[in-house]
Amino acid sequence: MVSRMIKFAIAALASVSMVASANAAAILGYSQRDQTDTPVVFTANASGTSTTITTTGNGAEPPPSANPPGWIPVNVTLPGAPAAVPAFMSFTTPLVSSTAATITGVGPNATITQGGYAGTIQFNFTSVPTVPGNILTVQFTGGVLSGLVGGNSASLSASFPPNTVNYTSSIPGLLTGADLRNFSIGFSGLTSGLSLNNTTVASNTGSTAGTFSAQPIPEPASVVMMSISAIAGLGLYGLRRRFQA
């Protein structure tokens, strides 16, 4: 009976985290306006020990002079907005790896994984950084890049906790309750199959799209109420077993 009571308690208390997870919501999604362009550049250093990911913004929106180096014309989706809005995004601080990449699995399921990425991603209503209009700025550490060996796509993700993911925005209310933060960026159309150069991801180019999410930490009162419910459930279970005996 004790074993069954413990299992019941675990299941009940697990529902607390399930409720919290259910509150996660996307605060920004984006995709390139020109899906055929490959403005994301992967550059492995000369020794093949680290990879830097940058944005070039070349040719994604005519005329080229309207698209300064580093800024990519994108469509941004925000909570409650009736439609996507045009904006610009850039890796304003290059995304740089700090750990060696590894390959797991064999054959078509072999996967490249490289952690320790850190940098800054910014979305702006204008491609001129000095003009106010910060939609979202993301500073992060501990990002993980992964994808199939030889594949034409990869993803970069990070979450707080355990990584560092900080959000700032000039849009009122966008970050309300953004205590837990995570994102996932996709890189597609890689012009060379995903591979390694020594111990790091090899040089490449591709397109990008992604989603940034956040969720509030449950209020203490909510946690207490859910915990009480779990304990009460244990009590009812024990009483029922006692009367059945």
Per-residue pLDDT of the chain (245 residues; tens, 9 = 90+): 434 433 333 333 233 333 334 456 999 999 999 888 999 999 999 999 999 999 987 544 444 445 456 889 999 999 988 999 999 999 999 999 999 999 999 999 999 999 999 999 999 987 666 566 899 999 999 999 999 999 999 999 999 999 999 999 999 999 988 999 999 999 999 999 999 999 999 999 999 999 999 998 765 544 334 333 433 343 434 434 444 55
**Which residues are CB-neighbours of 103 under 8 A, at least 6 positions away?**
110, 111, 112, 113, 149, 196
Residue whose pair of structure tokens reads 């990425």 in the numeric block: 117
Task: List 118's β-bridge partners, or say none.
Answer: 96
C-alpha distances in Å from residue 77, one per residue of 88, 176, 213, 239: 12, 17, 12, 52
Handedness of CA 152, 32, 122, 72 (dihedral sign): positive
Kindly provide the b/e burial profile for residues 111-145, where b requires at least 16 CB atoms within 10 angstroms of the residue's own CB. Answer: ebebbbbbbebbbbbebebeeeebbbbbbbebbbb
